[in-house]
Amino acid sequence: MFQKVLATFGSGGAKIDARLLDRAAAPGRPLHGEVLLAGGEVDQEIKGLAVTLLARVQVPGTDKTEDLPFGSQHLVGREVIRAGQQVRLPFELPLPWETPVTSVYGKPLTGMAVGVRAELDLATAVSDPFDADAVAIEPLPAQKRVLDALSRIGFVFREAILEQGRINGAQQQLPFFQEVRFTPSPRFASVFSQLAVTFLASSERTDVVLEVTKRVRVSKTGGFGGRGQDFLGMFTMKPDVNWEKQLEDWLDQVARPRGIFD
């Protein structure tokens, strides 16, 4: 009886270990893994076992972050796990097309926290065991074209963030969006303080949202102040477009002086 009591507090109870089988994944494609379920010292009733995609997002207007689910799969319903029993449960978790990119050419993006959490719901436990693993999400080929184009122009990656909310005028499915932020190239450094890229993909198309923070001129001599003014551009990617030229043309247009006070 004492062992059963301990099991309700997690001591000697069932445990899980989530493992990802894919070294890297991509938006719109399945993520493969498995959960190892190990029975404890006593038989226990399971109410359910599921794997969930989680993303750590910035809450607008605050310094707080929140872990938001954006996909899940139930692996086990109500069952009994016997003492000492070992069960291997494979899963194939579809990744939404808007899944944030967390790695480019195998290099993690600073600021990204996206992972898979496996959680075991036990009927009598005070706290349920869980296991979480970070996921390496590589950009789609179309997205790599834009990132490569910005790199060739001279923009340098700075950080990436996930922000809760929606972009006005965009076809967006998830309740948050990713900004991949760059330090301007020397050519635009005197005019821009930052460039941010957001990808909104679907099975039919990939939209690219560019947000440039432009330094604002505050004197007739052309000096720049500390305030910033944001300019938004939105493009639907097409396979026959020279993206390096299109990006440069748009950046040149935004960089042009528009008056004394911009």
pLDDT at residue 128, as a whole number: 58
pLDDT for residue 131: 78
Predicted confidence at residue 43, as pLDDT, reads 86
What spatial distance separates the first Cα and last Cα of the chain, rounded to whole Å? 76
What burial letters (b/e) apply to 42-74, b meaning 16+ CB within 10 Å? bebebebbbbbbbbbbbeeeeeeeeebebbeee
Q: What pLDDT, on the 0 to 100 scale, is given for residue 262?
A: 45
Question: Is residue 55 within 8 Å of residue 162, measured between CB atoms?
Answer: yes
Residue 170 tokens read as 């965009």
Greatest mean pLDDT among 4-13, 34-43, 63-72 lies in 63-72
Flag whether pLDDT at 223 surpasses 50.
no
What integer pLDDT is reported at residue 148 of this predicted model? 93
The residue written with tokens 């195998």 in the block is 106
pLDDT per position as a tens digit, 134-173: 999 999 999 999 999 999 999 999 999 999 999 988 889 9
**Considering only 72-76, 104-108, 166-170, 217-221, which range has the smallest mean pLDDT?**
217-221
Question: How many percent of the chain have pLDDT more than 90?
Answer: 57
Q: How confident is the model at residue 242 (pLDDT cuts 50, 70, 90)?
A: confident
> Looking at residues 110-116, what average pLDDT do you find?
93
Residue 109 amino acid letter: L
> pLDDT-derived band of residue 229, with 50, 70 and 90 as boundaries?
low
**pLDDT one-digit tens code per residue, 169-192:** 888 999 999 999 999 999 999 999
Provide the mean pLDDT of the chain.
85
- Within 10 Å of residue 242's Cβ, how many Cβ atoms? 10
Of 32-36, 38-42, 65-69, 109-113, the least confident:
38-42
pTM score over 0.95: no
Per-residue confidence (pLDDT) for residue 222, from 0 to 100: 45
